[in-house]
Amino acid sequence: MHSYEHGGNPYALEKSKGISLESVIDFSANINPLGPSEKGLSAIKTVLERCRGSLTRYPDPDYTQLRKQLADYHNAGLDAAQIYPTNGGIEAIHDVFRALKPKKTLIVAPAFVEYEKAAAAHGGETVFFPLEAERGFAIEPGAFYEAIDRHRPDLVVLGSPNNPTGKLVAKTVLMHALERLSAWNGALLTDEAFMEFLTDETVWSMAGEVTKFENLFVTRSLTKFFAVPGLRAGYLMTASPAFAAYWQAVKPVWGFNALAEAYVVAALEDAAYIENTRTELCRLKTKLIAHLANFKDLALYAGEVNYVLIQVNGPFRSSLKQALEASGILIRDCANYKGLEKGFYRLAVLGDADQARLMEVLSSLLSQAK
């Protein structure tokens, strides 16, 4: 079994290298480089400065305002009761496993390591459907359907956009998978943690299909696009009666705190912030890809969202992460992703100055290796 380490741990670099947190350039965590929504931050300040009662009372256990806001945000025919706020997207993933207790899980890999971790903690047997680098990590529908029919899993789990490849899966493919799974009461969990970064997310998101399939679970993160990983905010969308029963009878109450709720409700209405993020990220990603394309020792898998996957050849194949850390730069080593192993690294799209520093250090390292 692979290790379950994540990106976004500048604290370890501070301890090992003595580099202050403020000096670390973190390409390992896929967070919006524009920072949080100002409207969201103002909402938090209001709670802290003028509405102390919000902190001396427990949050609404039904999250009425938040769930309605999320339903309006998606505008996909969802009932607010079909939206379940969670303490980050990871908790939503684990909640699905806790509710369903699958005896067999099929994971499309490479994949976010929490899928395998959740399966190990709450499920039974785990099998994998491998995506191939030779195909650009695109899913091959026929082979995917064949794997579902052969394994007959209780739960299929995938990311769309995939983490770490950034690849998307067409809704038609996922709906065909759901129809197959329905034959034996199987379910599909699609993790859409990075869907907000797309300008055409409604074309790809399964949120609009939730009311049609009781065996569909769609998880979202609110911390990546809206740049507040420290708050922990996510949610699940499903019409599953089994999950509704779990939520009412088993799920601990108040998993979404008042500050996170205030921020999210305001940020979801910040249309200018959302549009500006998508526009600026497109520019920054185009620039990052152009820079990386100049390095002959790197193979590039650009994907569709706010990060890119690279494959490194040559002397730094296994040690690029460590080499960059010496200069205070963090990247995500993908060796613990099933099917990638050594030589694959993920880079978040950051701002101009951070990109310039990365290119400077990369150029120096790779020129020394020749």
**Per-residue pLDDT in tens (0 to 9) along the chain, 370 residues:** 445 555 556 777 666 767 767 778 999 999 999 999 999 999 999 988 876 666 778 888 899 999 999 999 998 899 999 999 999 999 999 999 999 999 999 999 999 999 999 999 987 899 999 999 999 999 999 999 999 999 999 999 999 999 999 999 999 999 999 999 999 999 999 999 999 999 999 999 999 999 999 999 999 999 999 999 999 999 999 999 999 999 999 888 888 999 999 999 999 999 999 999 999 999 999 999 999 999 988 999 999 999 999 999 888 888 899 999 999 999 999 988 988 978 999 999 999 999 999 999 999 988 776 5
How far apart CA 237 and CA 83 sit, in angstroms, is: 5
Instruction: Please provide the size of the chain in residues.
Output: 370
Kindly report the number of other CB atoms within 10 A of residue 4's CB atom. 11
- The fold for domain 38-267 equals Aspartate Aminotransferase; domain 2 (3.40.640)
Model confidence, pTM:
0.94
User: Where does CATH 3.40.640.10 sit in the chain?
Assistant: 38-267
How far apart CA 73 and CA 312 sit, in angstroms, is: 40
Structure-block tokens of residue 323: 């080499």
Nearest partner of 287 among 224, 365, 344, 351, judged by Cα: 351
Residue whose tokens read 């680098």: 133
User: Where does CATH 3.90.1150.10 sit in the chain?
Assistant: 10-37+271-368
List the beta bridge partners of residue 370.
Answer: none
- Sign, CA dihedral 339-343-344-345, equals positive
Which CATH code is given to the segment(s) 10-37+271-368? 3.90.1150.10
